Amino acid sequence: MADEKIIPAYDAEAIETKWQKIWEDEHTFKARDDSSRPKKYVLEMFPYPSGDLHMGHARNYSIGDAMARQARMRGFEVLHPMGYDAFGLPAENAAIKHNTQAGAWTHRNMAQATATMKRMGFSYDYDRMFATCDSEYYKWGQWAFLKMWEKGLAYRATSPVNWCPSCNTVLANEQVVDGKCWRCHSVPEKRELSQWYLKITDYAQELLDDLDQLTGWPENVKAQQRNWIGRSEGAEIDFALVAEDGVTPTDRLITVFTTRPDTLYGTSFFLLPPESALAAELVAGTEYEPAFLELKKSVEHVSSVDRQGSEREKHGVFSGRYVVNPLTGKPMPIWIADYILLDYGTGAVMGVPCGDQRDFEFARKYGLPIPPIIAEKDDPLYEQLKDETELKVTDVDWDRAMAAEGYLIQSGPFTGMLGGKHSPAVDAIIDYLGERGIGRKTVQFRLRDWLISRQRYWGNPIPMIHCDCCGDVPVPYDQLPVLLPENLDLGAGETLAEYAPFYETTCPVCGKPAKRITDTMDTFTCSSWYYLRYCDPHNDQEPFSKAAVDHWMGVDNYIGGIEHAILHLLYSRFWTKVMRDLGMIDLDEPFINLLCQGMVKDANGDTMSKSKGNVVPPSSVIEPYGADTMRLAILFIAPSEKDFNWDEEVVAGANRFIKRAWRTVWGLANSADSSADLNPAKLSGASADLWRRLNEMGIKCTADFDRYQFNTSISAVMELVNDASKYLVDTPEDQRDGALCARVAHDIVAMLSPICPHWAEELFHEALGFTGSIYDEPWPEFDPEQAKSSMVEIVVQIKGKVRGRAMVPADATNAELEEAAKAAAANQLVGKDIKKVIVVPGRLVNIVAI
RNA sequence: GGGGGCGUGGCGGAAUUGGCAUACGCAUCGGUCUUAAAAACCGAGGCCGCAAGGAUUGUGGGUUCGAGUCCCACCGCCCCCACCA
């Protein structure tokens, strides 16, 4: 650069330290509740403080911070809070291992993480920061539990649950991932235990329906939730139990759930799961009992991992009893089979071996008949049996079940009807059963109630007391919070259940000695409403004021990992709806727009983990290059929702760019004349070109930013910096336009400021001479008209192939374009017959000639 | 088995409604500066060909003046759920 004027070196560490202090001292990013500006709530999923922040956090928060800072420049009052999901097992395990307190360990980690957040320059309103282990917070989690208890949404029940032997606690269904504990990956055992639940199933239909209104959510997350909720339409059908004599029907009914009532004629046996109390009752004292008990025992010892998967061989035993098929009136044997689930549907299934592969395999193994009752028209069976209403063919020689679509055969009065899911035959048979009161249309969900009790110390205590006289009694509201004692001797293996000062109490109803519930709540209860608390974090009268939540909610931009697609994001939606129904808020859904960022993997594409020793700590980038380089590199390397592999070269490249942009802005600033007015009409030559590019790239940068496409938004600024740099090299100083230089420098700084905030503030003040924060400046505006050039190059195609180019005035008419194109391609059109000409103004002319 | 998504240079990736494929960056190779290196700056190619030129968005077909983009089939990859009746 020919400039004589001084350009200071870019000293990232000095600049970043300086601005971090200024932002902190001046509370630059405090969210004002009483602002007249429109609000925007930008939120990143808060971290679990298991140590310092890692690259995944850095990426998550860099995305959110860019959004928050830009929203502010767009004129919004921005709420951008941060806190800690601080309860959980790692703290307890660390405390046991190092013989310290879980709270102390957690607070040490939180302090370190906060320091890293500040070192990254994230624009949080730190005054709103809290941790879920603060009693001022978890008190209101207990409050919510009691409200749910009052409404019947919290309850205690005994049922087979997933017990993790390594974590020594039960797990929610959602926390058994691939048949393993989501946290420690050990295989849970089934245990019959008395546990506490939240009745999320009451909201199954609404949780499903409202997904449609979440237009700002990624499709795959919504699909995962739909899948998990798992709505199935079908029918319940009552089968009469046959007396022990094997022939006399009794009044006792056993109900099944099926999505395919149209296959009822093909039902040749009846199934119960080994855990079924009814099954145990039916075989009690009979010759079939020993085999049944053996099967039941074998299931207990098979892990859920092994019991899952259709490859596993099915096992079953005959119960010695029968039920009556309500359509045929014929008795069918009741079998007990290990592929039947106790907790789906009614826990009883009708076996339809011709159409269901599982039933088919079971029938083959145990020699049960496989009557065909449905066939495609091209199936020989169809020709043979299409008019047959009685069961003629009672077995088949197939080697697998047939696709269960087609026409009913040998199915009584329904023979000939089209069968299949949602088919006429389904409706007809449901109607038929309904008229006789032995069947009805029904809907089933796969979603189970949320098991929230954990037999662990470091969590929010369930605010209930068990009294031998009065049963389960809620802790009175005025006694909240039930404080978690902080002085347990975890190292010596002490638990809440053994800690008398905690559990010894008196019954609030009868006053007699009673025992507190010593289970704590799943940490996901704490993270299900923290976004509401940020709206009003210091409220000591209620969890949050309705006015504050009305003002700030919903979360306009929620950013976090895809691994929460089901767990956290489903629980939070549920909690929001519960709070709404309690009259606390007027909100159906908490998160308006959701962005799930991809993972940061190592250079080989492996996930980073301590055990693999391939973790790249944020400090290893911040120290040599600075936070701004790191933020830029993370956002530039790939689209936000995609995984990327860590690449040191990209960081070096980002640092090269940030330094080049620094020099370019200084170069422009040194040529700037801030007193002159910018008059675009007067610009010519290189200055006019730069002005046009400023508008073109400004529009692209802004549009891509608005789509959260930070990588291409950044590339637009890079192009502008490249052009500006060329302008400084190619245009002698006395020919540069001072007003233009000032404007371009300003806009480059502004457009990069959400991503490289310290860099931007420093240039804004030191190079451009502004006072006040750049985040009080409006986002620059650009004019699409000014992005157009007077002459444009169009492509000349002949039959769709590029055959030449032509420079034409931007406002040329279609006829002029056609003429220019014909002139440009004249020598290739000689002797050809022009059939048709397609003109796309400003882009191309396609001449169809033969 | 059910659901969601994806295939573009050596690499990360770009390409509003179908309209110049490979923007931007990394790596590579030249050059300037330097005693030298680094940094910085300027430039080049990207597959085939010495070249003019041609080919090219997983494969095959279709629609269209024109397809990375739309439709059909196939191949390959990723993610989620799953003995859910």
Q: Using the structure, give the distance in angstroms from the CA atom of A713 to the C1' atom of B21, rounded to a whole number.
A: 20
The confidence score (pLDDT) of residue A107 equals 96
**Do residues A356 and A303 touch, judged by C-beta distance below 8 A?**
no
From the alpha carbon of A637, which nucleotide's C1' atom is closest?
A: B12
Confidence bin at A428 (pLDDT 50/70/90): very high
Query: Pairing mode, if any, of strands A176-177 and A180-181?
Result: antiparallel
The span from the CA of A138 to the CA of A132, in Å, is 6
**Do residues A132 and A144 touch, judged by C-beta distance below 8 A?**
no
The span from the CA of A805 to the CA of A142, in Å, is 72
Q: Chain B positions under 7 Å from a protein CB?
A: 2-5, 12-16, 19-21, 23-27, 39-42, 55, 65-67, 79-85
Helix, strand, coil abundance in chain A, percent, nearest 5? 40, 20, 40
The confidence score (pLDDT) of residue A186 equals 83
Which residues are CB-contacts of A800 (< 8 A; sequence separation ≥ 6)? A846
Q: Using the structure, give the distance in angstroms from the CA atom of A778 to the C1' atom of B12, rounded to a whole number.
A: 32
Q: Average pLDDT, stretch A668-680?
A: 89
Q: Using the structure, give the distance in angstroms from the CA atom of A838 to the C1' atom of B26, rounded to a whole number.
A: 40
From the alpha carbon of A703, which nucleotide's C1' atom is closest?
A: B16
* pTM (predicted TM-score): 0.94
From the alpha carbon of A444, which nucleotide's C1' atom is closest?
A: B84
Read off the amino acid at residue A219.
E
SS (HEC) of A673-736 = CCCCCCCHHHCCHHHHHHHHHHHHHHHHHHHHHHCCCHHHHHHHHHHHHHHHHHHHHHCCHHHC
Closest CA to A163 of A184, A132, A190, A124: A190
Query: Pairing mode, if any, of strands A77-79 and A594-597?
Result: unpaired
Residue A285, preceding bond cis, omega within 30 degrees?
A: no
| CA A823, A825, A830, A835 torsion-angle sign | negative
pLDDT at A453 over 90: yes
From the alpha carbon of A314, which nucleotide's C1' atom is closest?
A: B83
Which tens digits make up the pLDDT trace of A186-204? 888 888 889 999 999 999 9
From the alpha carbon of A349, which nucleotide's C1' atom is closest?
A: B85
Q: Using the structure, give the distance in angstroms from the CA atom of A797 to the C1' atom of B28, rounded to a whole number.
A: 34
The span from the CA of A515 to the CA of A506, in Å, is 7
Q: Which residue has the higher pLDDT, A173 or A430?
A: A430
In three-state secondary structure terms, A540 is coil
Tokens of A595: 């962005």
Q: Using the structure, give the distance in angstroms from the CA atom of A346 to the C1' atom of B28, rounded to a whole number.
A: 66
**Do residues A573 and A554 touch, judged by C-beta distance below 8 A?**
no
From the alpha carbon of A718, which nucleotide's C1' atom is closest?
A: B24
Confidence bin at A308 (pLDDT 50/70/90): low
pLDDT at A741 over 90: yes
Closest CA to A239 of A330, A320, A317: A330
Tell how many helices (H) and how many strands (E) occur in chain A: 27, 33
Which tens digits make up the pLDDT trace of A811-844? 888 888 888 888 888 777 777 788 888 888 888 8
List, as one string, the DSSP characters of A639-684: -TTS-EE--HHHHHHHHHHHHHHHHHHHHHHHH--TTSPP-GGG--
Share of chain A above pLDDT 90, in %: 72
The b-or-e profile of A807-824 (16+ CB within 10 A means b, else e) is ebeeebeeeebbebbbeb
In three-state secondary structure terms, A268 is coil
**Do residues A657 and A721 touch, judged by C-beta distance below 8 A?**
yes
Which residues are CB-contacts of A54 (< 8 A; sequence separation ≥ 6)? A600, A608, A615, A617, A618
**Do residues A751 and A669 touch, judged by C-beta distance below 8 A?**
no
pLDDT at A739 over 50: yes
Which tens digits make up the pLDDT trace of A29-66? 999 999 999 999 999 999 999 888 999 999 999 999 99
Which tens digits make up the pLDDT trace of A603-647? 888 888 888 888 899 999 999 999 999 999 999 999 999 999 999
Radius of gyration in angstroms for the set of CA atoms belonging to chain A, rounded to a whole number: 35
Q: Using the structure, give the distance in angstroms from the CA atom of A24 to the C1' atom of B17, rounded to a whole number.
A: 46
Closest CA to A393 of A384, A401, A406: A384
Q: Give the helix/strand (H/E) hosting A204.
A: helix A204-209
Q: Average pLDDT, stretch A557-570?
A: 93
Q: Using the structure, give the distance in angstroms from the CA atom of A769 to the C1' atom of B22, rounded to a whole number.
A: 41
Residue A617, preceding bond cis, omega within 30 degrees?
A: no
The span from the CA of A386 to the CA of A489, in Å, is 75
Q: Using the structure, give the distance in angstroms from the CA atom of A512 to the C1' atom of B42, rounded to a whole number.
A: 89
The confidence score (pLDDT) of residue A1 equals 37
- Number of Cβ atoms within 10 Å of the Cβ of A606: 11
From the alpha carbon of A644, which nucleotide's C1' atom is closest?
A: B12
CA distances from A461 to A87, A105, A314, A465, A483 (A): 11, 19, 42, 11, 8
| CA A289, A295, A301, A303 torsion-angle sign | negative
- Number of Cβ atoms within 10 Å of the Cβ of A663: 18
Q: Give the helix/strand (H/E) hosting A461.
A: strand A460-461
| Alpha-carbon torsion angle A561, A566, A569, A575, nearest 10 | -160
Closest residue by Cα to the C1' atom of nucleotide B79?
A: A220
Closest residue by Cα to the C1' atom of nucleotide B41?
A: A1
